[in-house]
Amino acid sequence: MTAEMNMARKATHDMLESRIKTVEAKLETMLAQAETAKAKLEIKAIAELLTQKHTIQQKLKHLKKLRDGRWEHAKADIEAQIAAFEKSVSGGVLSSSRQRIESASPTGVASGARNATESLGDSVDSTA
């Protein structure tokens, strides 16, 4: 091989390596954005649960003022709401929220792509 061919191959190699690093940087940005979005959605889910808790507490205060048949009906309603609230806090809402986020967000894609670019980077480095 001539020196010109070696220089041309090195230039091509360097250009390809640069392109891979550029894509890797974009993937890292996507990953950070997805993680931020995931955190925001979890915070929103928790805020909704806190709102539910407040509503249940208000109904519980109101329960003290009720008499007879209305008390029984309100108590049953509050018990059902508390059971649903407990289920949500135990992971029902947050777990399903996380699953939806992970399947919909590019986080999984980005981390898989990051691993792919890392292995591409390794193969580029090993040929240098």
Higher pLDDT, 126 or 35: 35
pLDDT, the chain, mean: 79
Q: Compute the distance between CA of residue 35 and CA of residue 40 in angstroms, rounded to an integer.
A: 9
Stated pTM of the model: 0.55
Longest Cα separation, the chain = 100
DSSP structure class, residue 88: I
Segment 81-124, tens digit of pLDDT: 999 999 888 875 555 555 655 555 554 444 444 444 444 445 44
